[in-house]
Amino acid sequence: MSKKAIVLLSGGLDSTTALYQAKSEGYEVYALTFLYGQKHDKELECAKNIAIKAGAKAHKIINIPLNSWDGCSLTDTKMEIEDGDINRTDIPDTYVPARNMVFLSIAASYADAMEITDIFIGVSEVDYSGYIDCRETFIKAMENAINEGTVLGVEQGKHITIHAPFMHMSKADEIKLGVSLGVDYGDTWSCYRGGDEPCGTCDSCLLRAAAFEAAGCKDPLTNK
């Protein structure tokens, strides 16, 4: 019987690398992508293509309207996405409240239904834009909660593991790893603003550009 893993796949750099990491470890991949009220669908289209190209066993797109409340510039149409600052110490307004908590909860439900004990997520404490739901303490707490709230964890005594393989890895090292795993980063999208080309000035674009430069690689989206 093949190993199975659920991978949270946004279509961005981190989640795509996590998918390829899961594949390299011999997992049959079940990808989950979320429509949560984003202002553009660039990552969604990338996720669809990546799931097919990577040979995912299944790819589910889940609609969760996190734009039902205000306060996040990624989902609130009344807010503009500000230019980024990779040296910021505060939480940016692109933070989607408890997004990873919601996503991992849905992944836990899917895991419980499919009897899958491994979940991959591409978060990191090193290059994480100040998002509090990317910290290791949060991931460990979610793993504990999932195992206390699922049939797999309680009744069957099987431990559901949340894999965050890049938790202590810089984005530059992650890119080097991804290249070695065969990731085509031209298939991914990071820009918060959408559009035909990356804006180059939002937090995500700035972090991505710095990472490719540090990795000594050209970004196929910008050729820089």
**pLDDT one-digit tens code per residue, 160-214:** 999 999 999 999 999 999 999 999 999 999 999 998 999 999 999 999 999 999 9
Res 126: pLDDT: 85
**83-99 pLDDT, tens digit each:** 998 888 888 999 999 99
Res 152: pLDDT: 96
Q: What is the mean pLDDT of residues 56-79?
A: 96
- CATH code that applies to domain 3-215: 3.40.50.620
pLDDT of 1 above 90: no
- Show the 3-state SS of the chain: CCEEEEEECCCCHHHHHHHHHHHHCCEEEEEEEEECCCCCCHHHHHHHHHHHHCCCCEEEEEECCHHHCCCCCCCCCCCCCCCCCCCCCCCCCCCCCCHHHHHHHHHHHHHHHHCCCEEECCCCCCCCCCCHHHCHHHHHHHHHHHHHCCHHHHCCCCCCEEECCCCCCCHHHHHHHHHHHCCCHHHCCCCCCCCCCCCCCCHHHHHHHHHHHHHCCCCCCCCC
Q: What is the mean pLDDT of residues 59-63?
A: 98
Q: Which of 44, 68, 81, 72 is nearest to 205 (CA)?
A: 81
The residue assigned the tokens 């309207």 is 65
Res 128: pLDDT: 59
**Residue 131 or 89, more confident:** 131
Q: What is the mean pLDDT of residues 49-65?
A: 98
Res 151: pLDDT: 97
Sequence-distant (6+) residues with CB within 8 A of 180 are none
The whole-chain average pLDDT of the chain stands at: 95
Determine how many CB atoms are found less than 10 A away from the CB of residue 5.
Answer: 25
Cα–Cα distance measured from residue 210 to residue 151, given in angstroms and rounded to the nearest whole number: 43
pLDDT of 129 above 70: no
